[in-house]
Amino acid sequence: MRDASVKIHHWLYPLSWLYGIGVCLRNKLFDWGWLRSKSFDVPVICVGNLAVGGTGKTPHTEYLIRLLQHAGINVATLSRGYKRKSKGYVLATAGSSVQQIGDEPYQIKSKFPDIRVAVDENRCHGIGQLLELKNPAVDVVLLDDAFQHRHVKAGMNILLTDYHRLLCDDVLLPAGRLREPASGKNRAQIVIVTKCPDNIKPIDFNIITKRLHLYPYQQLYFSRFRYGSLMPLFPEKAKKRISCTGDEQVLLVTGIASPAPLVEEVKSYTSHVSLLAFGDHHDFSTKDVQLIEERFLQLTEGKRLIITTEKDAARLKSHPALGGVLKPYIYVLPIEIEFLQNQQYIFNQNIIGYVRTYSRNRSLSER
C-alpha cells in the first residue's frame, strides 16, 4: 500500500539504526518501570501516530469532541501547542491567538468554544491543571499527538496510520518517517487506517488487516476524509457564497504535511488548480503573504479564488500583512472523518463505554 511517490532513503539506514537504539532503550526504561508513567483518575484518550507528518489527528480529535459532547460529557483537549510562542501551561480563551496556543488548538477552540482547550509541553502538569477546573469539572481529557509521551499513561491509545503509507511499510527516521519502531503499535487499543480512498475494495480491508499484525485486544477501524462546503475566511468581506461551476481558477494554499488528497478534492471542483505548498505548520511570513497575493493576481479576474485548510486559515486570519485585496477571496475547506464498513456505531460505543466506565463523575458512570 506504500505510496510510490514516498521514498525510503536507504543510504540513511545506519543513522536510523542508531536512532532506533535510543528509542528502543527509552521505551524499555518505561516498560521496566525505571522511567515512570503517571495515571490519572479521569479517562485519558491519546490520539497519535508513529510517523511524523499528517495522518489526520486533528479531524479525528474533532470527531471525538463531537461524539463526547453529544453524550453530555465535558471534554478537554491538551497538546503541546506546536510552534506556539508561549511556554508552559496555557488555557485557551476566546481571545487566545495562534501565537499563544498554536494553530491546531486555535482551530479546535474556534470550532468548539464551550470546551477546555489547553497546551503544555509537560502533559502530566497540563492534565493536573485541567483536573483542578470546576463548574463544570473535566470528565475526559483528549491528548493530541502524545503517543510517544509515555510519562502519561493514557487509559486508551488511538493510533492512526495513513492508508498511503502504512506503518508496516515505513522505517525509522531519518531513512523513513517513523518516530519509533512499528512494534510501538502494540501499545494502542485502537488502530485507525486513515485517508482511505473512496474506491477502496473489500479485499483491501483484509490485506491491510493481515499486514498490520494486530493482537486480539486491538480493534482496527478504517476512515476517510469527508470535505464540507467552502466557507469564507472573512464572511464580512466575502461578496458571495461560492458554488463552484468548474470555471474557477483556484490558488490552493497549504501548510500541511500531505497536500495531495486536498489537491485531488479541489480538482474535482475545477481543473484550474495552482498549488502553493509550504511546510507543515508553516509560520507565514510577510514575504509569503506577498507571494500568495502575486500568485493570486496572475489568475483571471472575476474567476479567481483562494482555497486553504482550516489549520492554515488559523495562521492566516490574523496575519498583519494580509490586506483587503485577498480577504474577500479566501475560502476554507473544512474536513471531517467518516468511518467505513459500518464501523461508526461500534467505535462510538467503544469510546463512550470507556469514558463512562472510568469516569469520576458518578452520574456518567451510572448511565
> In whole angstroms, what is the distance from residue 139 CA to residue 43 CA?
7
Contact 158, 190 (CB under 8 A): yes
> What is the mean predicted confidence (pLDDT) over 59-78?
97
Question: CB burial class (10 A; 0-12, 13-18, 19+) of residue 210?
Answer: exposed
Sheet of strand 335-339: strand arrangement: 90-91, 116-119, 75-79, 140-144, 44-49, 156-162, 190-194, 219-227, 335-339
> In whole angstroms, what is the distance from residue 34 CA to residue 27 CA?
10
Residue 191: pLDDT band with limits 50, 70, 90: very high
Sheet of strand 304-308: strand arrangement: 231-232, 330-332, 304-308, 249-254, 273-277
Supply the pTM of this predicted model: 0.93
110-157 pLDDT, tens digit each:
999 999 999 999 999 999 999 999 999 999 999 999 999 999 999 999
**H and E: helices and strands count for the chain:** 11, 14
355-366 pLDDT, tens digit each:
999 987 766 655
Identify the sign of the CA torsion 319, 322, 324, 326: negative
> In whole angstroms, what is the distance from residue 244 CA to residue 349 CA?
38
* φ/ψ (deg, to 5) at 263: -60, -45
The residue type found at 352 is I
70-111 pLDDT, tens digit each:
999 999 999 999 889 999 999 999 999 999 999 999 999 999
> In whole angstroms, what is the distance from residue 285 CA to residue 107 CA?
20
332 Cβ neighbours under 8 A, 6+ residues apart: 230, 231, 232, 233, 307, 308, 309, 310, 313
Residue 5: pLDDT band with limits 50, 70, 90: very low
> In whole angstroms, what is the distance from residue 276 CA to residue 271 CA?
15
Residue owning grid cell 539504526: 17
Contact 164, 193 (CB under 8 A): no
Contact 307, 253 (CB under 8 A): yes
> What is the mean predicted confidence (pLDDT) over 213-241?
90
> In whole angstroms, what is the distance from residue 64 CA to residue 57 CA?
11
Q: What is the DSSP string of 244-262?
A: --S--EEEEEE-SS--HHH
29-38 pLDDT, tens digit each:
999 999 999 9
302-321 pLDDT, tens digit each:
889 999 999 999 999 989 99
- Length of the chain, in residues: 367
Residues facing 106 on adjacent strands: none
Residue 2: pLDDT band with limits 50, 70, 90: very low
Percent of the chain with pLDDT over 90: 81
